[in-house]
Structure 1
Amino acid sequence: MPHALIVAHGQPSDPEPAEAALAAYAADVDTLCEGVDVKSATLAAPGVLERRVAALPDDAVIYPLFMAKGWFVTSALPKRLADRNIRILDPLGVEPSLPGLVSETLTGILAGHGWSPQDTELVLAAHGSGRSRNPSAVAREFAVELRKKIAFKAIHTGFVEEPPYIAEAAANLSSQALCLPFFACAGGHVLEDLPEALSEARFSGRVLPVVGELPLIKQHIALVLASTFKEA
């Protein structure tokens, strides 16, 4: 049976909860991905990635549950694989189909509220970086593509680690607004920094799950993994 490993960053200060959450996530994808054995590992949990990789056959693939193809995906992860030549797929955040999947979900949410997109504002809350322009560039490009699919009144992009910050992006909006956390997993930034920023902005709209937890995303990852092995 083909094997796949979903890898996420995890939480260095408290690795176990994030490791367990990712294992549950991978179990859901495994259920959806007939014919592929799907496991998981975070980079933060000591020794877990190395043990999982050691158990993988050479034709396995790794799916990075990240929002940018940055240092963790292109440098840290390959280094942790040591001498194993295991294929690393593109991360979730840069997949061309992601704006379409998210727009389908957002369209359903808008309809459920009886909101028209033309009267609704969206806050795209992303990580950003004080060291690299790549994470914010990915988020901005996603916003551009999403704007082509849904005619929101406005899309405001804000970041945790660089300006414009989330509190700025979410300020002075009506209650007819959505906040979409542009994150793969609900880690510390989503559970702590985001609520703090939205509170500072007095944001009164609806906060959505992180992109990685939206409907259709797990199904999409399962399809990506299944199609990868069919191509091979």
Structure 2
Amino acid sequence: MSGTRSPSPKGPVTEAIIVAHGQPLDPQAGEDQLSALAERIAHVLPGWTIRSATLAAPGILEQQLDTFTGVPYVLPVFMADGWFTKKALPDRLGDRKVHQLSPLGTFPGLPHQSFKLLKQEAEQRGWCFNSCDIMIAAHGSETGPAAAECALYFARRLQRLTPFKKKIRTGFLAQDPFLARVARFSTPRTLLLPFLAGTGPHLTVDIPQELEEGRFQGVLLPSIGEAAFVPGLIAQSLKNAWRRTYGFDPMDRSRLAVSFSPPPVSSIEGQTRDGVEANTIDKAARYSAAPAGSRFVTMLQKIKAAVRNRCSWPWATRRKDGVNAPQRV
């Protein structure tokens, strides 16, 4: 159980809770790991209250939800959008009003960040990334296809980022193709990335046993959930959810528009002599009140000078009435 308030709030406090499966055999260990992740997320989210709870710890999730004063965001730290996120977690949430977000394993930025992580791992070992093989270790499921589908989709997205779109093999712990079978295709330069949300018996016991059975020759990396980029990804997901909730559109240009009232055309010195000049003067009037330091200031000065000197634009040397326009000197 964890509740972390990020320092230096910049606005109204926003509340969120990250939820993971945890470790049924050692619930406190799972709580401690998730609490550490909550602290890292709070560090990059000023003004937010970030809490954590695992499903394996009895009653902890309900206790944390009861401490919120508003409508919290619930972010599942799961790698698949399956039974746990669609059935187990909603049942635990009950009738409480919350905003449940998509799980970590479905984040659009996850494949790209994982690709950069794999490249860094290869460079640290002095290997050329093009010569490395990549394997994914995932949990899978015996009861439904969602877990395998999310892992395979992640592998396909990752494959598109690799040079020459090299094949990425995926092995599972709970379904075919099993990891022990896939591990037989490994080489000394194989990087195995566990598609798991954290550490636990799957990472410390189950995967090593499968790799030993398959005579794995490569390098077993930490799970994706332990990567340094994960707190930033979760923080960005929470901020995006907040913007959608309150109708904030970051692409709305009206927020950046400068409000000013243009002066009337009659206030401009000189009299309008023809249609071409009138159009030019009208444009100058609309932009004459541009804010100081604007990049349009120089252009407006040139327009006004052209009006005063009655010189034509380079592309308009003849008027519509057939009379030659004065040439630029």
Which one of the candidate residues 65, 90, 93 is aligned to 1:81?
93
Task: Work out the number of aligned pairs and report it.
Answer: 232
Q: 1:149 aligns with which of 136, 157, 161?
A: 161
Where 1:171 maps in the other structure, the secondary structure is helix
Greater CA radius of gyration, 1 or 2?
2
> Does residue 184 of the first structure (1) align with residue 197 of the second (2)?
yes
Pair 1:8-2:20 in alignment:
yes
Q: Give the 5 Å matches for 1:103-142.
A: 103-142=115-154
Would the aligned equivalents of 1:120 and 1:153 in 2 still touch at CA under 8 Å? no
1:135 Cα shift? 0.5
Residue 101 in structure 1 maps to residue 113 in structure 2: yes
Query: Percent of aligned pairs with the same residue?
Result: 38
Tell me the residue number matched to 2:302.
none
Per-residue deviation, 1:10: 0.6
What amino acid is aligned across from residue 66 of structure 2 in structure 1? A
AA of the residue aligned to 2:42: D
1:119 deviates by 1.7
Which gives a bigger RCO, structure 1 or 2 (Cα 8 Å, sep 6+)?
1
Correspondence for 1:158: 171
SS in 2 for 1:10: coil
For residues 12-51 of structure 1, the aligned pairs below 5 Å read 12-51=24-63
Match of 1:211 among 224, 230, 233: 224
Does the 8 Å CA contact 2:118/2:191 hold for their aligned counterparts?
no
CA distance in 2, matches of 1:229, 1:73: 20
Deviation at 1:107, TM superposition (A): 1.8
Question: Which runs of 5 or more structure 2 residues have no equivalent in the other structure?
Answer: 1-12, 247-329
Instruction: Quote the Cα distance in structure 1 between the aligned partners of 2:45 and 2:72.
Output: 14
User: Which residue of structure 2 aligns with residue 199 of structure 1?
Assistant: 212
Moved over 4 A (4+): none
Structure 1, gaps ≥5 residues long = none
Q: How far has the Cα of 1:153 moved from its partner?
A: 4.4
Identify which range, 161-170 or 112-121, moves more after superposition: 112-121
* Residue identity in the other structure for 2:18: I
CA-to-aligned-CA distance 1:48-71 (integer Å, 9 cap, x gap): 001011112332101100001111
Residues in 2 aligned to 1:172 and 1:79: alpha-carbon distance in whole angstroms: 42
> TM-score, with normalisation over the residues of structure 2?
0.68
CA distance in 1, matches of 2:236, 2:46: 9
Do residues 222 (structure 1) and 258 (structure 2) align? no
CA contact (8 A) 2:159 2:166 kept: no
The TM-score normalised by the length of structure 1 is: 0.95
How far apart, in 2, do the equivalents of 1:163 and 1:139 lie? 13
What is the alpha-carbon distance in structure 2 between the residues aligned to residue 187 and residue 88 of structure 1? 25
Equivalent-residue separation in structure 2 for 1:227 and 1:156 (angstroms): 33
